[in-house]
Homo-oligomer: A and B are copies of this chain.
């Protein structure tokens, strides 16, 4: 996430706006229809741009898709940082879960695109999984093992704890249609999101034998 320098001139500013508009629209369309189901024409229409203009900024559909996915990965990385390797299990996990739930609420389309990508074998982002994600996971597993060695939590397989957190938090974004349907066809409100976050955190912490607020 490089801090972006301010636009040098009118052109540069417009260019950024257009890029942002295209990326945001594309994220939604890719999330709703999948890579193949999304068409450049549909993205163009939603963004109110001629299709040829999209191809000016992103030569191919794959280029556009890749940038959408990379943006999402960076958001994920930000949240991943909040898994503080120096904090107590309670602090680290509570913060991490909250952050992930917030992402599910604020970036539902991104989460869906990511899910889609992984479900279909991660053809575009396979290298990310093998490098960045693997490294991140290994270091966190070591942290969790240390917690167990120090008797701060029960002995469990750290891998499955992580999967459980990922699966559950992302479920609220990826399966939002199912959740909405089961919620009287209403979007979850602030209170319900807070309730979900609290409930998930509590079950996870109790599940691994970590006292809360400790």
Contacts and interface: CB of A to CB of B under 8 A. Distances in A.
A44 to B, nearest CB: 18
Contact of A208 (B35, B134, B166, B206): B206
B200 A164 contact: yes
A150 interface: no
**For the complex formed by this chain, how many copies does it contain in all?**
2
Interface stretch (A15-23, A62-70, A88-96, A155-163): A155-163
Interface of A is mostly: helix
Contacts of A157: 195-196, 199
A211 interface: no
Interface string A152-177: 00101101110110111011101101
Nearest to A178: B118
Which of the four size classes fits the interface of chain A? 35 or more
Interface string A34-51: 111100000000000000
Interface of A: 31-37, 112, 115-116, 118-122, 126, 129-130, 133-134, 137, 154, 156-157, 159-161, 163-164, 166-168, 170-172, 174-175, 177-179, 181-182, 195-196, 199-200, 202-209
